[in-house]
Amino acid sequence: MIRIPSSKCIYSMNPKNPPVTEVDPGETVVFETKDCFSNRIQTERDLFANVGWATINPATGPVAIRGAQPGDVLAAKILDIKVSEKGYMVAVPKMGALGHIITHSQTKIMPIIDGYAMFNDRIRLPISPMIGVIGTAPKTEDIPNGTPGAHGGNMDTRLITEGTNLYLPVFVEGANLAVGDLHAVMADGEVVICGIESPGEVIIQVNIVKGKTLTSPVLETEDNFYCIASAESLDKAAASSLDYTAEFLKTRLPLSINEIAMLMSLVCNLQISQIVDPLKTVRVEIPKRAFERYQLRF
């Protein structure tokens, strides 16, 4: 098992980022992560303005996977996510989907005790740790970690959590996987630009899938697949994710495209991941049970 300290981090996903280390397919990697504020918020007196955009969303890595080539798929099996004993939130005027009603900048710190985040003395929320930023190196671009895309990045999808498999396109030799921006709790939408942010660690088993290609991330849980897409607007992201889902099913099922479209309208749920990043992210849920007689697989 390889452990990568949080000091080995990047702030953008770039094919020119040198890998911290190289591992074999099947190996397990522990990513120690800073919070999305680079651990620069420690008290409620520390406001978002004190952090600055240059150090937002650090991602630990990148880690190269031996034998990964452009056109392959990186399979990241998320074995465990641990967050720290407290989490942080900010609210900032004119930022996020609710920025127009936020009157002043505020930081809130919440202890995490026995699996619950203590919002106040009357509200405690069960934690569900998730990964906000996880991605591979893009082919040519330098993409800030705050921006999602075909490479993954800041998808802020609450279902990217322990026990799931995330499939990412490989654009460069080695894939160059980086991970960060853990949340103890976050709802779909992430409407004030953050969840309960926390440093922590993620344990991931990495593998390479040959002979299959992806143009955007796919998430697999026990019961569902999710095709994830990001775009400048929710309408464009929804259209992309639906087209991507249709293609995903077309290549795996002996059905006509008309039948696939009909089934998508019956059983595939269109869901929002986040609406506050430079690109918006949506996902289409594909229930495995609907296709169990076809033995739908990645």
Over the chain (298 residues), the average pLDDT of each successive run of 10 is 97 98 98 97 94 91 98 98 97 96 98 98 98 98 97 98 98 98 98 97 98 95 98 98 98 97 98 97 98 95
Report the distance separating Cα 68 and Cα 275, nearest Å: 32
Question: Is residue 257 one of the residues assigned to a domain?
Answer: yes
Task: Looking at the structure, tell me whether residues 204 and 227 fall in a common domain.
Answer: no
pLDDT in the model for residue 52 = 78
The CA distances from residue 123 to 108, 110, 116, 118, 119, in Å, are 14, 11, 10, 6, 5
Task: Looking at the structure, tell me whether residues 204 and 240 fall in a common domain.
Answer: no
The boundaries of the domain holding residue 228 are 218-294
Q: How many CB atoms lie within 10 A of CB 223?
A: 10
Question: Is residue 247 one of the residues assigned to a domain?
Answer: yes
pLDDT in the model for residue 106 = 97
pLDDT in the model for residue 203 = 98
* Number of domains the chain contains: 2
Question: Is residue 9 one of the residues assigned to a domain?
Answer: no
Q: 237: Cβ–Cβ under 8 A, 6 or more apart, which residues? A: 229, 230, 231, 279, 280, 281, 282
Give the residue from 209, 238, 263 where a domain finishes.
Answer: 209
Task: Looking at the structure, tell me whether residues 86 and 133 fall in a common domain.
Answer: yes
Per-residue model confidence as pLDDT tens digits over 189-223: 999 999 999 999 999 999 999 999 899 999 999 99
pLDDT in the model for residue 53 = 83
Task: Looking at the structure, tell me whether residues 144 and 227 fall in a common domain.
Answer: no
Task: Looking at the structure, tell me whether residues 149 and 200 fall in a common domain.
Answer: yes
> Taking a C-beta distance cutoff of 8 angstroms, is the pair 158, 188 a contact?
yes
Question: Is residue 6 one of the residues assigned to a domain?
Answer: no
Q: 208: Cβ–Cβ under 8 A, 6 or more apart, which residues? A: 25, 65, 67, 68, 72, 73, 74, 75, 170, 175
